[in-house]
Amino acid sequence: MDQFTRPVYTWYSQNFRHLPWRTTRDPYLIWISEAILQQTRVSQGLPYYLRITERFPDVRTLAESPEDELFKLWEGLGYYSRARNLHQAARSILINYEGNFPETYESIRQLKGVGDYTASAVASIAYGLPYAAVDGNVIRVLSRYFGIRLPFDTQEGRKVFGDLANEILDRNDPGSHNQALMEFGALLCKPRKPGCPVCPVKSSCFAFLNNEVEKLPVRKKKPTRSSVYYTFLLVESNHSVLIEQRKGKGIWRSLYQLPLIETDTLPAEEEVMLLRGVTELLGTPGSQLLKISRPHTHILTHRTIVARFVHIKCPVLSTYWRNYIQVNKEEISKFAFPVLIKNYLAEHEWL
Ligand code: SF4
């Protein structure tokens, strides 16, 4: 061990967070925790981990349950493709490995939704296999400590960071090594305001010694974010609302939503009244426009959703709505909605 890893291990042994996936070597539980923690803070992910592993304590239970049940437990966590992939991967483990979690890096890597990072984390923590797990925390630590100015989001950058991480990996205990480095990045060598004054490796840290802490790591691409404009119809009819299951390829695929009208720009209130669907409802005798909401903005990594909700009470529904599901107030909480819709329904006491 050298002047970098030894102090990091000591720091880790004194500062690590006691989290349930740290006290297990069960590959299934570690895999679930890794899937939840992608793009998610530990404090947000922890209750989800507890609920999901309580309901699905092993691969078989997850694989044999309907996908919708996992979506419902995942509700609010976002990036639903992670849940979809978990479910598909659990099914493939059941079919191909009789429900036993695969035991090699290559076979873990082949599971749906599992990339290099997750395969390395599971292989090293559960099985002690010598693979360095390189996540954003590790990249930040390596970039700052070793002074790597290469953009990490390029092919060359990924290779350099991966090679270095594997070079310094402690082959006697790769699982603890990976966890120590990740925790060090998450808690001490943070993106903003890192704890350099109390850092145990500051005297040999390139970025600290050269005043480059704020400049590293370097990213090449700036993520671009486009906007989409949604008008959701809260169609209330005899204590029930209309919903549909989302199809296609988007991030909300398989979740449920209110009837949706997508437009190129955000329609003004008077334009909302002219949207097909709205005119159809308001043309029905006895219907009543209750509310057009203010625009709600929901920011995702690659897109911003700007949405309005139009609440219309309609005693009789025409055949125009025959492909939608009519759900009464008591049943609606059984369906998984994107958080934007869930929050609106909750605010208006439908959930
Ligand atoms: S001195 Fe600062 S930048 Fe360097 S490793 Fe420690 S916390 Fe990170």
**Catalytic (active site) residue 167:** no
Residue 250 has pLDDT above 80, yes or no: no
Give yes or no for residue 101 CB within 6 A of ligand 1: no
Residue identified by tokens 């659990």 is: 90
E strand residue ranges, the chain: 226-237, 240-245, 256-257, 260-263, 288-292, 296-299, 303-313, 325-328
Q: Average pLDDT, whole number, for the chain? A: 93
CA distance 200 to 183: 14
- Please report which confidence band the pLDDT of residue 223 belongs to, taking 50, 70 and 90 as the band edges: low
- Residue from 213, 215, 216 to probe ligand 1 pocket by mutation (most atoms less than 8 Å from CB): 213
Task: Return the residue whose CA atom lies nearest to atom 8 of ligand 1.
Answer: 189
**Which residues sit opposite 304 in a β-bridge?**
227, 299
Residue 54 has pLDDT above 90, yes or no: yes
Domains detected in the chain: 5-215 (1.10.340.30), 226-347 (3.90.79.10)
Q: For ligand 1, what atom is nearest to the CA of residue 199?
A: 6
Task: Return the residue whose CA atom lies nearest to atom 4 of ligand 1.
Answer: 205
Find the 168 Cα to ligand 1 centroid distance in Å.
17
Cα angle 192-45-145, degrees, rounded to a multiple of 5 = 30
pLDDT digits (tens, 9 = 90+) for 117-141: 999 999 999 999 999 999 999 999 9
Give yes or no for residue 52 CB within 6 A of ligand 1: no
Give yes or no for residue 184 CB within 6 A of ligand 1: no
- Residue 183: predicted pLDDT: 96
Find the 41 Cα to ligand 1 centroid distance in Å.
21
Residue 1 has pLDDT above 60, yes or no: no
* CB distance 270 to 349 below 8 Å: no
Give yes or no for residue 128 CB within 6 A of ligand 1: no
Residue 179 has pLDDT above 90, yes or no: yes
CA distance 312 to 265: 22
Find the 247 Cα to ligand 1 centroid distance in Å.
46
CA distance 12 to 182: 10
Mean pLDDT of 261-280: 90
* CB distance 258 to 348 below 8 Å: no
What's the pTM?
A: 0.79
Find the 167 Cα to ligand 1 centroid distance in Å.
20
- Residue 350: predicted pLDDT: 80
Mean pLDDT of 87-103: 97
Find the 6 Cα to ligand 1 centroid distance in Å.
15
Pairing mode, strands 288-292 and 303-313? antiparallel
Q: For ligand 1, what atom is nearest to the CA of residue 195?
A: 7
- Please report which confidence band the pLDDT of residue 225 belongs to, taking 50, 70 and 90 as the band edges: confident
Residue 268 per-residue DSSP state: P
- Residue 184: predicted pLDDT: 98
Interacting residues of 190 by C-beta distance below 8 A, sequence separation 6+: none
- Residue from 3, 145, 184, 215 to probe ligand 1 pocket by mutation (most atoms less than 8 Å from CB): 145
